[in-house]
Amino acid sequence: MHELTNEKCIFSFSKHNDPVLNVNDGEEVKIETLDCFSCQIKTNDDKLETMDWDKVNPATGPIYINGAKENDVLEVIIKKIDIENKGVIATGKDLGVLGDKMNDLYSKVVEINDGKVIFNEKLSFPVKPMIGVIGVAPKEGEINCGTPGPHGGNMDTTLIGEGSKLYLPVFVDGALFALGDLHAVMGDGEIGVSGVEVSGTVTVEFRVLKNLKLNNPLVKTNEVTATIASNESISKAIETAVKDMAELFQKNTDLSIEEISTLFSISGNVQISQVVDPLKTARFSMPNWVLETYGIEF
């Protein structure tokens, strides 16, 4: 297994980033990450006001996957996520949905013990680790790690956790994959602008798929398959995610668009991933057993 330390990180996805590791199709990599603040908030005496905001949302990488070409799909199998025993929660003035009700920035270091986040003396809750930033280089330009898009990026999607498979469209040779921004736990929407931000390690396996075409990322868990889309408008993101799923059914079944629409209404779920990044992210999930009934498998 390859290993990559958190010293090798980027703050934007670009085809001009030099790869720090080359791997082959089917190989595993253990990737060490910084938290979204580059571990600048270590105690409650460390304040967001004095932080270097140019070091927000580092992603470890990029990794060059041999054989990955434009129009391929990169399958990322998330085998294991290990997190540190402390995390940071943060919000404040002009941040998140409630930012207009606050006057200052706020952060707090929380302990993580025995699989639980200690929110305060009265409340703790189970960890459910997930990856906030995960993606590949776009075909053109440079996209900061805080922004989601067809390349992936800061999708903040709670389904992207241990045991899931993420499918990313490839835009450049080698894909130039990177990830970071782990959360010990996060609610859908991330309405306060942070989950429980943690550093840690993620073990992934890469597979290059030549017979699959995607416009945007797709994630599969043990229970559901979800198309993911981002847009300035959450309603547009929802529309794109649903239409991406509809395209999968149109290509792989003999169902009419009317049958697909009614099937989606009966068994599908529109879900919000995040509403606080430069582009908002939504997903449309369908039960795996429905897809498998029609032979749609990943």
Q: What is the 3-state secondary structure (H, E, C) of the chain?
A: CEEECCCCEECEEECCCCCCEEECCCCEEEEEECCCCCCCCCCCCCCHHHCCHHHCCCEEEEEEECCCCCCCEEEEEEEEEEECCEEEEEEECCECCCHHHCCCEEEEEEEEECCEEECCCCCEEECCCEEEEEECCCCCCEEECCCEECCEEECCCCCCECCCEEEEECCCCCCCEEEEEEECCCCCECCCCCCCEECEEEEEEEEEECCCCCCCCEEECCCEEEEEEEECCHHHHHHHHHHHHHHHHHHHCCCCHHHHHHHHHHHCEEEEEECCCCCEEEEEEEEHHHHHHCCCCC
pLDDT of residue 265: 98
Determine the Cα–Cα distance for residues 187 and 289; give it in Å rounded to an integer.
Answer: 26
Determine the Cα–Cα distance for residues 203 and 76; give it in Å rounded to an integer.
Answer: 10
Determine the Cα–Cα distance for residues 204 and 191; give it in Å rounded to an integer.
Answer: 28
pLDDT at 165 over 90: yes
Determine the Cα–Cα distance for residues 97 and 135; give it in Å rounded to an integer.
Answer: 26
Residue percentage of the chain with pLDDT more than 70: 100
CB atoms within 10 A of CB 163: 12
b/e per residue, 202-228, with b = 16+ CB within 10 A? bbbbbbbbeeeebebbbbbbeebbbbb
Q: CA angle at residue 87 from 85 to 91, to 5 degrees?
A: 170
Residues 86, 198 contacting (CB under 8 angstroms): yes
> Would you say how long the chain is, in residues?
298
pLDDT of residue 202: 98
pLDDT of residue 256: 98
pLDDT at 298 over 90: no
pTM, entire model:
0.96
Mean model confidence pLDDT for the chain: 97
Chain segment 275-289, per-residue pLDDT in tens: 999 999 999 999 999
Average pLDDT value for residue range 195-216:
97
Chain segment 74-126, per-residue pLDDT in tens: 999 999 999 999 999 999 999 999 999 999 999 999 999 999 999 999 999 99
